[in-house]
Amino acid sequence: MLVREEKKRPLSWRDSRQSIRHKWTLPFHTVEWAFDWTAYLLSRWAFLEVLEYLGILSVLAAVIFYFAEADGRRQQKHYQAWQVINTAQGKGGNGGRIEALQELNADGVPLVGVNVSGAFLQGIALPHAELLRSEMEASDLRQSSLRASDLAYASLRSANLRQSDLTGVNLFTADLEDADLVGSDLTGAELTQANLRNTDLRNANLSGVVWRKIKSIESANVYGARNAPPGFLSWAMAHGAISVRGDDE
């Protein structure tokens, strides 16, 4: 609320001049006296008071419009992020897709069916992302975080997921043929109907994986796989998996 105090009427020039002790200060007192009267007269002008209120109202209106247009700005930001992703589709490199994907996911936007095949997305963080039916074939996802993300029906053929956090990820019916999961954490991952043919699972953490209905594990390398559920390794070997130490070990 705007509070205004009534300004006290200044002394007349005759009275004010009597208080001057040194003549050399006369010009300064004259200016001060003139300003006092100017301020007094302006304080009694209602028009200036109205202008003050209008200034306050304009600030208030700007704040209201800022919040009212928040959804529009968010939609524009999402539109620009999708433009970055779609424009770079089918191309290698990053092309700003890491930031765009992370921004959309942070705002809770579903990434269903997104196509980032062949993209360089090393270190991307997409926890709890909705990546249902996404296309990530031959993409570089090393050291990424896809914790608790939904990758059901996703294509991850030949994708590089080395040292990635795949804790609790849903890979139901996902295609991981020829994918590199060396050293990745698959704790609690859903692998029902997943295609793990020729997948490199060396030194992967397989604690609590749902594995009993895996579609194919033929030629998958399970050398050094850690914390595998009881019966998994023997089942895998019986269904065509191999255990071979790699040249990089």
pLDDT score recorded for residue 37: 73
Alpha-carbon distance of 239 to 4, in angstroms, equals 87
pLDDT per position as a tens digit, 202-222: 999 999 999 999 999 999 999
Give the pLDDT of residue 1.
Answer: 47
| Cβ 106 vs Cβ 128: under 8 Å | no
Q: For residue 51, what are the contacts with CB-CB under 8 A and spacing of at least 6?
A: none
Centroid of chain to Cα 102? 4
Domains present along the chain, CATH in parentheses = 22-68 (no CATH), 69-249 (2.160.20)
pLDDT of residue 42: 66
Which residue positions in the chain have pLDDT lower than 50?
A: 1-3
Report pLDDT for 246: 74
- Would you state the pLDDT for residue 69? 63
Beta bridge partners of 228: none
Classify residue 231 as left (phi > 0), alpha (psi -120 to 50) or beta: left
Burial (CB count <10 Å: 0-12, 13-18, 19+), residue 176: buried
Contact at 8 Å (CB) between 141 and 124? yes
Query: Would you state the pLDDT for residue 109?
Result: 96
pLDDT of residue 62: 72
